Amino acid sequence: MVHKIIELLRSKGYIIESHPRRGYKLLFIDDLSLASMYLSDLDTKIRYSVHYVRSCTSTQDIAKSLAELGAPEGLVVIAEEMSQGRGRLGRKWYALKGGLWVSILLRPKYLRTLQLLSLISGLSVVKALSRMLGISNVKLKWPNDVLYNEKKLAGILVEGSVEADEVHYIIVGIGVNVNNDIPKEIENLAISLKSILGHEIPRVPLLRSLIKEFDTLYNELITCNTEKIINEWTKYSSTIGRKVKVITFGEVIEGIAKGLRSDGSLIIVDDYGKKHVVYAGDVIHLR
Ligand code: BTN
Protein backbone atom coordinates (compact mmCIF):
# COMPACT_ATOMS: atom_id res chain seq x y z
CA MET A 1 0.00 0.00 0.00
CA VAL A 2 2.75 2.44 1.02
CA HIS A 3 4.69 1.49 -2.09
CA LYS A 4 1.62 2.25 -4.25
CA ILE A 5 1.22 5.69 -2.67
CA ILE A 6 4.92 6.41 -3.13
CA GLU A 7 4.65 5.49 -6.82
CA LEU A 8 1.56 7.69 -7.18
CA LEU A 9 3.39 10.65 -5.64
CA ARG A 10 6.39 10.00 -7.89
CA SER A 11 4.12 9.99 -10.95
CA LYS A 12 2.90 13.44 -9.89
CA GLY A 13 6.47 14.74 -10.02
CA TYR A 14 7.45 14.49 -6.35
CA ILE A 15 10.96 13.29 -5.71
CA ILE A 16 11.12 10.62 -3.03
CA GLU A 17 14.26 8.86 -1.88
CA SER A 18 13.97 5.32 -0.60
CA HIS A 19 16.30 3.62 1.86
CA PRO A 20 16.17 -0.16 2.47
CA ARG A 21 15.80 0.10 6.26
CA ARG A 22 14.97 3.70 6.97
CA GLY A 23 11.99 4.05 4.62
CA TYR A 24 11.13 7.00 2.39
CA LYS A 25 12.09 10.64 2.35
CA LEU A 26 10.19 13.32 0.43
CA LEU A 27 12.67 15.84 -0.96
CA PHE A 28 11.78 19.51 -1.17
CA ILE A 29 13.93 20.50 -4.11
CA ASP A 30 13.73 24.08 -5.15
CA ASP A 31 17.30 24.26 -6.47
CA LEU A 32 16.90 24.47 -10.26
CA SER A 33 20.64 24.12 -10.79
CA LEU A 34 20.03 20.44 -9.90
CA ALA A 35 17.23 20.10 -12.46
CA SER A 36 19.44 18.35 -15.00
CA MET A 37 20.02 15.46 -12.61
CA TYR A 38 16.33 15.16 -11.77
CA LEU A 39 15.13 15.20 -15.38
CA SER A 40 17.49 12.45 -16.48
CA ASP A 41 15.35 9.55 -15.18
CA LEU A 42 12.07 10.83 -16.64
CA ASP A 43 10.30 8.37 -18.89
CA THR A 44 9.81 10.59 -21.97
CA LYS A 45 9.93 10.26 -25.76
CA ILE A 46 12.37 13.18 -26.09
CA ARG A 47 15.57 13.26 -24.02
CA TYR A 48 15.55 16.50 -22.07
CA SER A 49 18.73 18.20 -20.89
CA VAL A 50 19.01 21.39 -18.87
CA HIS A 51 21.09 24.50 -19.45
CA TYR A 52 20.82 26.46 -16.21
CA VAL A 53 21.81 30.10 -15.73
CA ARG A 54 21.43 32.29 -12.69
CA SER A 55 20.36 35.34 -14.67
CA CYS A 56 20.03 36.40 -18.29
CA THR A 57 18.14 38.77 -20.56
CA SER A 58 15.70 36.10 -21.75
CA THR A 59 15.87 32.29 -21.78
CA GLN A 60 14.42 32.55 -25.30
CA ASP A 61 17.61 34.32 -26.46
CA ILE A 62 19.89 31.66 -24.96
CA ALA A 63 17.80 28.82 -26.41
CA LYS A 64 17.87 30.49 -29.85
CA SER A 65 21.66 30.92 -29.80
CA LEU A 66 22.15 27.30 -28.73
CA ALA A 67 19.65 26.12 -31.37
CA GLU A 68 21.62 27.96 -34.04
CA LEU A 69 24.79 26.26 -32.80
CA GLY A 70 23.08 22.90 -33.35
CA ALA A 71 21.81 22.01 -29.87
CA PRO A 72 19.51 18.98 -29.94
CA GLU A 73 15.76 18.83 -29.42
CA GLY A 74 14.86 18.68 -25.74
CA LEU A 75 17.28 21.32 -24.53
CA VAL A 76 15.61 23.19 -21.65
CA VAL A 77 17.05 26.58 -20.76
CA ILE A 78 16.22 27.66 -17.23
CA ALA A 79 16.99 30.96 -15.53
CA GLU A 80 16.53 32.05 -11.95
CA GLU A 81 15.70 35.57 -13.14
CA MET A 82 15.50 37.47 -16.44
CA SER A 83 16.12 41.16 -17.04
CA GLN A 84 14.26 41.30 -20.37
CA GLY A 85 11.71 38.52 -20.16
CA ARG A 86 9.45 38.57 -23.22
CA GLY A 87 5.72 38.01 -23.42
CA ARG A 88 3.35 37.65 -26.35
CA LEU A 89 2.66 40.59 -28.66
CA GLY A 90 5.92 42.30 -27.68
CA ARG A 91 4.94 42.68 -24.04
CA LYS A 92 7.34 42.67 -21.09
CA TRP A 93 7.34 39.57 -18.89
CA TYR A 94 8.35 40.19 -15.27
CA ALA A 95 10.67 37.37 -14.21
CA LEU A 96 11.90 37.80 -10.64
CA LYS A 97 13.65 35.11 -8.59
CA GLY A 98 11.44 32.24 -7.43
CA GLY A 99 9.51 31.70 -10.66
CA LEU A 100 9.87 28.94 -13.21
CA TRP A 101 11.22 30.50 -16.41
CA VAL A 102 12.00 27.90 -19.06
CA SER A 103 12.52 27.68 -22.82
CA ILE A 104 12.28 24.30 -24.54
CA LEU A 105 14.01 23.68 -27.88
CA LEU A 106 12.08 21.55 -30.37
CA ARG A 107 12.95 20.41 -33.85
CA PRO A 108 9.70 19.14 -35.37
CA LYS A 109 9.97 17.81 -38.93
CA TYR A 110 6.77 19.32 -40.26
CA LEU A 111 4.78 22.48 -39.91
CA ARG A 112 1.39 20.77 -39.88
CA THR A 113 -0.37 20.91 -36.49
CA LEU A 114 2.31 23.27 -35.14
CA GLN A 115 -0.32 25.91 -34.54
CA LEU A 116 -1.47 23.68 -31.69
CA LEU A 117 1.90 23.96 -29.99
CA SER A 118 0.96 26.96 -27.90
CA LEU A 119 -2.28 25.24 -26.87
CA ILE A 120 -0.51 22.09 -25.66
CA SER A 121 2.06 24.17 -23.77
CA GLY A 122 -0.64 25.93 -21.74
CA LEU A 123 -2.45 22.65 -21.32
CA SER A 124 0.65 20.94 -19.97
CA VAL A 125 1.01 23.65 -17.30
CA VAL A 126 -2.62 23.23 -16.22
CA LYS A 127 -2.35 19.43 -16.17
CA ALA A 128 0.91 19.52 -14.20
CA LEU A 129 -0.60 21.90 -11.64
CA SER A 130 -3.79 19.96 -11.16
CA ARG A 131 -1.94 16.62 -11.07
CA MET A 132 0.79 17.72 -8.67
CA LEU A 133 -0.93 20.26 -6.48
CA GLY A 134 -4.58 19.39 -6.99
CA ILE A 135 -5.52 22.97 -7.85
CA SER A 136 -8.71 22.70 -9.84
CA ASN A 137 -9.49 26.36 -10.43
CA VAL A 138 -6.67 26.79 -12.94
CA LYS A 139 -8.10 27.52 -16.39
CA LEU A 140 -6.92 28.25 -19.91
CA LYS A 141 -7.70 31.45 -21.74
CA TRP A 142 -7.34 31.19 -25.50
CA PRO A 143 -4.80 30.82 -26.91
CA ASN A 144 -2.57 29.92 -24.00
CA ASP A 145 -2.83 31.99 -20.83
CA VAL A 146 -3.07 30.04 -17.62
CA LEU A 147 -5.40 31.81 -15.22
CA TYR A 148 -6.43 31.44 -11.61
CA ASN A 149 -9.55 33.45 -10.78
CA GLU A 150 -8.96 35.42 -14.00
CA LYS A 151 -5.42 36.38 -12.90
CA LYS A 152 -2.41 35.22 -14.86
CA LEU A 153 -0.53 32.34 -13.28
CA ALA A 154 1.50 31.34 -16.34
CA GLY A 155 2.17 32.46 -19.89
CA ILE A 156 3.46 30.85 -23.06
CA LEU A 157 5.51 32.31 -25.88
CA VAL A 158 6.25 30.26 -29.00
CA GLU A 159 9.01 31.53 -31.29
CA GLY A 160 10.96 29.82 -34.03
CA SER A 161 12.86 29.77 -37.23
CA VAL A 162 10.83 28.44 -40.13
CA GLU A 163 11.52 28.68 -43.85
CA ALA A 164 8.94 27.72 -46.50
CA ASP A 165 7.73 24.44 -45.02
CA GLU A 166 10.99 23.61 -43.28
CA VAL A 167 11.25 24.06 -39.52
CA HIS A 168 14.76 24.88 -38.31
CA TYR A 169 13.75 25.05 -34.68
CA ILE A 170 10.97 26.11 -32.36
CA ILE A 171 11.41 27.53 -28.87
CA VAL A 172 8.54 27.15 -26.44
CA GLY A 173 8.87 29.64 -23.59
CA ILE A 174 6.92 28.85 -20.45
CA GLY A 175 6.77 31.19 -17.47
CA VAL A 176 5.02 30.11 -14.27
CA ASN A 177 4.64 32.43 -11.27
CA VAL A 178 5.63 29.99 -8.53
CA ASN A 179 7.34 31.51 -5.45
CA ASN A 180 8.21 34.86 -7.04
CA ASP A 181 6.83 38.18 -5.86
CA ILE A 182 4.41 39.87 -8.26
CA PRO A 183 5.47 43.48 -8.98
CA LYS A 184 3.03 46.25 -7.91
CA GLU A 185 2.40 47.28 -11.55
CA ILE A 186 0.76 43.96 -12.37
CA GLU A 187 -0.72 43.03 -8.98
CA ASN A 188 -4.27 43.17 -10.37
CA LEU A 189 -3.40 41.01 -13.36
CA ALA A 190 -1.09 38.30 -12.08
CA ILE A 191 -0.88 35.80 -9.23
CA SER A 192 1.66 33.27 -7.93
CA LEU A 193 1.22 29.70 -6.72
CA LYS A 194 2.75 30.71 -3.40
CA SER A 195 0.01 33.26 -2.78
CA ILE A 196 -2.73 30.82 -3.86
CA LEU A 197 -1.53 27.98 -1.62
CA GLY A 198 -0.03 30.02 1.21
CA HIS A 199 3.33 28.25 1.09
CA GLU A 200 6.33 27.77 -1.20
CA ILE A 201 6.23 25.13 -3.92
CA PRO A 202 9.35 23.08 -4.79
CA ARG A 203 10.13 23.95 -8.40
CA VAL A 204 12.07 20.84 -9.45
CA PRO A 205 9.09 18.43 -9.01
CA LEU A 206 6.89 21.00 -10.75
CA LEU A 207 9.33 21.16 -13.66
CA ARG A 208 9.43 17.34 -13.86
CA SER A 209 5.66 17.15 -13.92
CA LEU A 210 5.45 19.91 -16.53
CA ILE A 211 8.04 18.27 -18.82
CA LYS A 212 6.30 14.90 -18.54
CA GLU A 213 2.90 16.39 -19.47
CA PHE A 214 4.44 18.43 -22.26
CA ASP A 215 6.24 15.41 -23.71
CA THR A 216 3.03 13.35 -23.82
CA LEU A 217 1.02 16.13 -25.45
CA TYR A 218 3.80 16.99 -27.91
CA ASN A 219 3.89 13.38 -28.98
CA GLU A 220 0.14 13.50 -29.59
CA LEU A 221 0.64 16.65 -31.61
CA ILE A 222 3.32 15.25 -33.90
CA THR A 223 1.29 12.10 -34.43
CA CYS A 224 -1.66 14.36 -35.37
CA ASN A 225 -3.93 13.29 -32.54
CA THR A 226 -5.49 16.74 -32.66
CA GLU A 227 -9.00 15.76 -31.60
CA LYS A 228 -7.76 14.57 -28.22
CA ILE A 229 -5.78 17.80 -27.72
CA ILE A 230 -8.74 20.02 -28.65
CA ASN A 231 -11.08 18.08 -26.35
CA GLU A 232 -8.70 18.27 -23.40
CA TRP A 233 -7.96 21.94 -23.97
CA THR A 234 -11.70 22.67 -24.09
CA LYS A 235 -12.21 20.80 -20.82
CA TYR A 236 -9.82 23.16 -19.01
CA SER A 237 -10.87 26.30 -20.88
CA SER A 238 -12.51 29.32 -19.34
CA THR A 239 -12.93 30.98 -22.75
CA ILE A 240 -15.33 28.55 -24.42
CA GLY A 241 -18.95 29.45 -23.79
CA ARG A 242 -18.06 32.96 -22.58
CA LYS A 243 -18.87 36.35 -24.03
CA VAL A 244 -15.53 37.66 -25.28
CA LYS A 245 -13.96 40.58 -27.04
CA VAL A 246 -11.10 39.71 -29.38
CA ILE A 247 -8.62 42.15 -30.80
CA THR A 248 -7.12 40.64 -33.91
CA PHE A 249 -5.07 42.48 -36.55
CA GLY A 250 -6.74 45.81 -35.79
CA GLU A 251 -10.23 44.32 -35.87
CA VAL A 252 -12.39 44.00 -32.77
CA ILE A 253 -14.88 41.13 -32.60
CA GLU A 254 -17.40 40.68 -29.80
CA GLY A 255 -19.47 37.55 -29.34
CA ILE A 256 -19.73 34.15 -27.73
CA ALA A 257 -16.69 31.87 -27.98
CA LYS A 258 -18.25 28.69 -29.33
CA GLY A 259 -15.27 26.37 -29.55
CA LEU A 260 -12.01 25.53 -31.26
CA ARG A 261 -11.47 24.21 -34.77
CA SER A 262 -9.07 21.31 -35.27
CA ASP A 263 -6.26 23.77 -36.12
CA GLY A 264 -6.67 25.53 -32.77
CA SER A 265 -8.41 28.62 -34.15
CA LEU A 266 -11.25 30.11 -32.10
CA ILE A 267 -14.84 30.25 -33.37
CA ILE A 268 -16.85 33.29 -32.29
CA VAL A 269 -20.47 34.01 -33.06
CA ASP A 270 -21.38 37.69 -32.80
CA ASP A 271 -24.70 39.25 -31.70
CA TYR A 272 -25.97 39.11 -35.32
CA GLY A 273 -25.29 35.39 -35.55
CA LYS A 274 -22.28 35.86 -37.81
CA LYS A 275 -19.48 33.32 -37.38
CA HIS A 276 -15.87 34.52 -37.11
CA VAL A 277 -12.72 32.39 -37.04
CA VAL A 278 -9.78 33.91 -35.16
CA TYR A 279 -6.23 32.60 -35.65
CA ALA A 280 -4.33 35.00 -33.39
CA GLY A 281 -5.12 37.87 -31.09
CA ASP A 282 -5.88 39.06 -27.62
CA VAL A 283 -8.98 37.80 -25.86
CA ILE A 284 -10.82 39.68 -23.11
CA HIS A 285 -13.37 37.70 -21.14
CA LEU A 286 -16.46 39.90 -20.79
CA ARG A 287 -18.64 37.81 -18.49
C1 BTN B 1 2.86 35.77 -22.29
O2 BTN B 1 1.97 35.40 -21.52
O3 BTN B 1 2.78 36.87 -22.86
C4 BTN B 1 4.01 34.87 -22.55
C5 BTN B 1 5.00 34.87 -21.43
C6 BTN B 1 6.16 33.92 -21.65
C7 BTN B 1 7.21 34.01 -20.57
C8 BTN B 1 8.28 32.99 -20.73
S9 BTN B 1 9.32 32.84 -19.32
C10 BTN B 1 10.44 31.85 -20.20
C11 BTN B 1 10.52 32.41 -21.60
N12 BTN B 1 11.53 33.45 -21.67
C13 BTN B 1 10.99 34.63 -21.95
O14 BTN B 1 11.63 35.69 -22.08
N15 BTN B 1 9.66 34.53 -22.08
C16 BTN B 1 9.21 33.17 -21.90
One digit per residue, the tens of pLDDT, for the chain of length 287 reads 888 999 888 887 788 888 888 899 888 888 999 999 889 889 999 999 999 999 999 999 999 999 999 999 999 999 999 999 999 988 999 999 999 999 999 999 887 777 899 999 999 999 999 988 888 889 999 998 999 999 999 999 999 998 877 899 999 999 999 999 999 999 999 999 999 999 999 999 999 999 999 999 999 999 989 999 999 999 999 999 999 999 988 899 999 999 999 999 999 999 999 999 999 889 999 97
Whose CA is closest to 175, among 95, 117, 248? Answer: 95
Residue 101 near ligand 1, beta carbon < 6 Å: yes
CB burial class (10 A; 0-12, 13-18, 19+) of residue 50?
buried
pLDDT of 224 reads: 85
Ligand 1 center to 83 CA (angstroms): 12
Task: Fill in the DSSP letter of residue 174.
Answer: E
Integer CA distances (angstroms), 36 to 19, 68, 74, 115, 191, in order: 23, 21, 12, 29, 27
pLDDT at 63: 98
Give the Å distance between the CA of 263 and the centre of ligand 1.
Answer: 23
CA dist 12 and 136 (Å) reads 15
Pocket of ligand 1 contains residue 86 by CB under 6 Å: yes
Please identify, by atom number, the ligand 1 atom nearest to the C-alpha of residue 144.
2
At 77, which amino acid appears? V
Residue 111's pLDDT is what? 78
Alpha-carbon span 129 to 253, nearest angstrom: 32
Q: Is the minimum distance from the CB of 281 to ligand 1 under 6 angstroms?
A: no
**Residue 217 near residue 124, CB atoms below 8 Å:** yes
**CA angle, corner 123, sides to 47 and 185, nearest 5?**
110
Atom nearest to 155 CA in ligand 1: 2
Predicted confidence at residue 112, as pLDDT, reads 74
Cα 272 to ligand 1 centroid, rounded to whole Å: 37
Fill in the amino acid letter for 194: K
Q: How far apart are the first and last CA of the chain?
A: 46
Measured from the CB, is residue 177 less than 6 Å from ligand 1? no
Identify the bridge partners of residue 175 per DSSP, sorted by sequence position: 101, 155
179 vs 98: CA distance, rounded Å:
5
Give the per-residue pLDDT at 113.
75
- pTM more than 0.85: yes
CA of 103 to the centre of ligand 1 (A): 8
Treating both helix axes as pointing N-terminal to C-terminal, what angle do 226-235 and 117-133 enclose, rounded to 10 degrees?
50
